[in-house]
Structure 1
């Protein structure tokens, strides 16, 4: 039976780039992997066919020969070595798709590289710090010192993990590669070396201060600049202020998450503020001036129009929050809440009754509502 065209096997065009061929190979290999196609008796042979095609086309010299001579390039001694290599080569050709199918179980992740080389020193973890601030602090911005419990490089061994003058040695289990291989039937599987944890090195004389880790636990005091305009959920990144890496590895980052606590007077909506202001009934009816607070600690005088009702809003421009990115300042909105007087004296009650008896057309909304109610009841009469 004649062999299928390698490009056709991968589902790629002849002008495909190396990246396009790799994507096509991974897609086909995952689709046809025998472990995922137990009900397909041809899956293993199709899987091998896909591997054979990619083993040729991923190599620039083999690809050039195949593009010129086709399958004949690897027959009768032309080009030698063709796609029919030994089982070890076959397994290595699958290393990319193994990563996708089996995740960290296989080699090629976490800094080790697809070739099974020694991993770089482990990077320190990123840290998170939750910082609560007041709305006033969010309005003004502030410089704040925080204490962060973290791991820092050991000062005794300078982060190497070894006693002074001692040098790490190659791990005897993996010979410095950081990975060990095991044969599992048809496949060769790579795992992180259990002895050195993937570092490829061991320390025979560990530092007494850090126990060979190259880092120690310590609280650090950091000065943080909180810009004006931050709000709950704002994230500030401090590069290199996270946990120290293992045995001299790079330091992680520190992420500060801002939470602005609720304010007893102001509510916030982005850059705008709102404030519910109670107004005496007489002031709402007759009109007058009131003073309202502003977030910067100041006061603003507001004129209340005569006949103001509960829910009426007024705007104070530029009295809101500063924009975090870019220029500009939000506004503050005042919402009136007309307050009904309580704990009236006998005289006050008498005056209100006189006012009620003398009132005509002073409550237009009330008159309109009860007029509609009267019409509704009349319609409901049998």
Structure 2
């Protein structure tokens, strides 16, 4: 609400009292109207809610002698209200306010700046009472296989929401909070220093715009209470250990129409005794025998959450060579899957039978004419 709107409103009419009403009459009128229009008695009634705010605003000004004096002087100066020509109720001037107040109404450098110091507030397009909820952080642990395919996990969340005893007002049942006189309900105060305007949350109401004189015993006047609920969160397929997932508007609920905060879930992924991860691909190391690597063979390879696949090793497969099995890796965001990367490892037996030793000795004799390290030695000598 802009300063222009504030000057224009007839607070005496809103409270239903005369301009000569004393402080007791103003207070009595406010209490009667506040009791009648309180949100607890008029749930889902927007018109009553609007009138309740107007009544609270009027009382915050007329109950303060200094602000009431400034208000009366301003209305006297401008003939009972500032109105633009052709506006509701007619105009108090026969010319456009823009002719004498650059910017017209409540914009930067306009009427709001002229009267900002008088009433201690600046024009604001949104009510300061609407507050965004707090962000919430939690952790979840899932298995290696669940991270690959995705999983929906239940999370018990404890967060702050409107107190059920006072419906979020912070005031004891049967009473109502009053509009903060220091910031007139905006939640902010402004000071001018050397031509620079400084705006900060009001210290009297801590940015709420309302002051509670008789606090609710359940929430100690904060208007908030702890609630616990179970939320089912989908952990996407392909998530990696330590990844932080953001869920918009799943955090603590906002106050008075404000947007809920966000929920941040940090995922911890367990290890697997057989498989590893390399981006969107799974990895596995498979042992093979010397004859299988030398002569070639068809071997069984395990897959994650599926039947084994057959891998054909060509003759002369070296130790450490990696083969690719298409479509048996981790799930991608588009629903397709990466590959399974199979690395073969030639196993050397600790013990061999007598017949096996004889076969190996015969093989060694057969291959004795070939020095497999000759090329290595030649390159080493040339390099020196």
TM (norm. structure 2) is 0.61
The correspondence for 1:329, drawn from 326, 331, 337, is 337
Question: What's 1:243 paired with?
Answer: 252
Residue 358 of structure 1: how far off its partner (Å): 1.9
| Alignment partners' CA distance in 2, 1:122 and 1:174 | 16
Residue 169 of structure 1: how far off its partner (Å): 0.8
- Give yes or no for contact 2:297–2:315 (8 Å, CA) kept in 1: yes
The correspondence for 2:178, drawn from 166, 169, 186, is 169
Quick check: 1:373 aligned with 2:377?
yes
Task: Flag the 1:188–1:310 CA change in 2: closer, same or farther, 3 A.
Answer: closer
The correspondence for 2:142, drawn from 110, 126, 133, is 133
Question: What's 2:347 paired with?
Answer: 339
Gaps of 5+ in 1: 1-77, 95-111
CA deviation vs aligned residue, 1:336-380 (integer Å, no higher than 9, x gap): 11112223456544442332112257x7xx62x423514654896
Aligned residues: CA RMSD: 3.6
- Alignment of structure 1 residues 171-320 onto 2, 5 Å: 171-232=180-241, 236-246=245-255, 249-320=258-329
Task: Flag the 1:346–1:152 CA change in 2: closer, same or farther, 3 A.
Answer: farther
Task: Flag the 1:178–1:262 CA change in 2: closer, same or farther, 3 A.
Answer: same
- Give yes or no for contact 1:148–1:222 (8 Å, CA) kept in 2: yes
Partner-residue secondary structure (3-state), 1:130: strand
Gaps of 5+ in 2: 1-97, 115-120
- Give yes or no for contact 2:129–2:186 (8 Å, CA) kept in 1: no
Question: What's 2:153 paired with?
Answer: 144
| Alignment partners' CA distance in 1, 2:331 and 2:109 | 63
TM (norm. structure 1) is 0.61
Task: Flag the 1:225–1:181 CA change in 2: closer, same or farther, 3 A.
Answer: closer
Question: What's 1:352 paired with?
Answer: 360
Task: Flag the 1:376–1:229 CA change in 2: closer, same or farther, 3 A.
Answer: closer
Task: Flag the 1:345–1:123 CA change in 2: closer, same or farther, 3 A.
Answer: same
CA deviation vs aligned residue, 1:268-299 (integer Å, no higher than 9, x gap): 23322221112122322233332221112421
Task: Flag the 1:276–1:201 CA change in 2: closer, same or farther, 3 A.
Answer: same
Partner-residue secondary structure (3-state), 1:151: strand
The answer to which of 149-158 and 194-203 deviates more is 149-158
- Give yes or no for contact 1:119–1:199 (8 Å, CA) kept in 2: yes
Question: What's 1:5 paired with?
Answer: none
- Alignment of structure 1 residues 30-45 onto 2, 5 Å: none
- Give yes or no for contact 1:129–1:255 (8 Å, CA) kept in 2: yes
Aligned residues: 277
